[in-house]
Structure 1
């Protein structure tokens, strides 16, 4: 999948054409960029930088549509901003990259403008999991990217890479961790179940969930930062201020390739795989 992008792309691998992608790539390139434009919300930090450098210029060259990228926060803060703006008839971004949980929550308020599959011929190349649909079958979002969340460390603080998610619970790591703040994007309950409870099936019962929550609460003394804005942890990890945590595998790899003292480790229990969609705000005037 990553072949679609320049090898230097930051965080996530592209799965398919975005909202503005498949059909518009067939449009004549004689349109001037200033004649048409889109605001596109993407995750901040290295990821946004990579899209600004490697993706959006080619899109503009092919379509004549200028892109103004907007750094959106990790998690559901962006969803709240989009919903509040939509109520006022405004759109902070026309197209946004949204997580699966945010896509579902946005559906409940009809935040996403339905997409016409006939105008997205490349959507047939996606497996069903990457086409987000309303209950009535209308397309709410189309697969954009997929990513891994792994166990990351500052190599100057940790000469050897940890091998298990259990390192998050190690008392030697008190006040050293940066973890994603939301249950919807951190998957820490699943990490807990996989590491200490024999697997995620333990979360199929209320009793199992409560047991996982109790075990997860033991991590709190080790956490220095519960982050929503990934760029905040990115800087702290590179400086060594917060030398361990969970973060995105390819962003960490890109930072390492540019000389930052960081590493990404797939623990023996496995990394966390998640994905996002391109979604169009119903308040956008660019449908």
Structure 2
């Protein structure tokens, strides 16, 4: 089970034992680490820095520590990473949390000239807090409704198509709490902002998930690769998936298409950040600049089949990657792939908290 981002972790109300244990988590300040940049994020994301002679030209080396969930970044920065970590890749939902918890340094955009080449959809102040920028977009994708056109009577138009009798035992859910809740809350309750749900709405969402699990779903694949295999083998007609799975299935000889459900879906937007008290702040700015450069973005997008944020990278993408994301109309893409704020971390008496959402999801898992 993923480690939850609780109010105690985010705001620093951690026991001395937890803090002491974390000191041994692999982070330590080096006496002579002026050119050694430490990266904390998803495996593969750091490859944008291994392009060409970037590291050599900047007289830098790179150490990468990989995460299993975005929450790992918050937890590890709180637990000894501040002052020893340079760069992180927070999902957009967590940027405000990281800033409020004192875990991020502002980014000096004057020293990140490639930020001027971001696509129009990312030329905004979404990550500006008190006049300072704490993140730049890195890459995007979404929980896509994928389907095998040979196994459906018509293209799905709603997530509710999962509940049709003809698809009983031929659909699959996601393996992640946040994804399942944020997608199905819109179906169960009609809410526009699933991270602002009442207790009643959360209960309705969990009840629907339990119904799908018991009466309709074939499985909840443990990984995206497993889900892709199920699609490729014809075990499911529809699945809560991810855009790159379209290409993975094609490589196995199965055509899979992306539906646009009327309820929309949850969009994933990962960012690049500089950690608080980063040991190489000026050099880190060069790394941020590299991350959003056209060259790095194009290679990253092609290698990982993911969305890019630099406008000059788009023409350099393979056709199969461009086909996954509607770069000609990203407004339409993000009208379907919704970006949400984080759940409240403490109760306001109206909306459920992040921990309460996880408690509700535990009921679903045990059902």
Match in the other structure for 2:20? none
1:234 and 2:224 are equivalent in the alignment: yes
1:101 aligns with one of 85, 93, 106: 93
Q: Separation in 1 of the partners of 2:163 and 2:245?
A: 22
Shift of 1:273: 2.6
Choose which of 36, 46, 67 in structure 2 pairs with 1:72: 67
Q: 2:132 aligns with which of 131, 134, 138?
A: 138
Does residue 182 (structure 1) correspond to residue 177 (structure 2)? The answer is yes
Residue deviations 1:71-118 (CA, integer Å, cap 9, x gap)? 32234233323322336x543xx3121112222222231111222222
Structure with the larger RCO, 1 or 2 (CA within 8 Å, 6+ apart): 1
- Indicate conservation of the 8 Å contact 1:98/1:276, yes or no: yes
Contact 1:190/1:200 (8 A) holds in 2:
no
Are residue 282 (structure 1) and residue 285 (structure 2) matched? no
Distance 1:66 1:218 in 2: 51
Instruction: Name the SS for the 1:57 alignment partner.
Output: coil
* 8 Å CA contact retained: 1:95, 1:278: yes
Asked if residue 252 in structure 1 is aligned to residue 245 in structure 2, the reply is yes
Change (3 A) 1:176 1:191: closer
Unaligned runs of 5+ in 2: 1-32, 282-367
Higher strand share: 1
> In 2, distance between residues paired with 1:72 and 1:267?
30
Counterpart position of 2:258: 265
Count how many residue pairs are aligned between Structure 1 and Structure 2: 233
- Shift of the 103–237 alpha-carbon distance from structure 1 to 2, 3 Å rule, reads same
Question: Residue 340 of structure 2 corresponds to which residue in structure 1?
Answer: none
Q: 1:90 to 1:262 in 2, by over 3 A?
A: farther
* Counterpart residue number, 2:38: 39
Query: Contact 1:178 / 1:233 at 8 angstroms: preserved in 2?
Result: no
Provide the residue aligned with 1:15 in structure 2. Answer: none
8 Å contact from structure 1 (residues 192, 216) kept in 2: no
Question: What is the aligned counterpart of 2:211 among 218, 224, 236?
Answer: 218
Give the conservation status (yes or no) of the 8 Å contact 2:184–2:209: no
**What is the alpha-carbon distance in structure 1 between the residues aligned to residue 254 and residue 273 of structure 2?**
35
1:16 matched residue in structure 2: none
Separation in structure 2 between the aligned mates of residue 65 and residue 202 of structure 1, nearest angstrom: 43
**TM-score, reference length from structure 2:** 0.51
The C-alpha deviation readout for 1:142-162, integer Å capped at 9, x for no partner, is: 221222220235x59x73486
**Separation (CA, whole Å) in 2 of partners of 1:139 and 1:117:** 8
Assess, with a 3 A threshold, how the Cα gap between structure 1 residues 278 and 174 changes in structure 2: closer, same or farther.
same
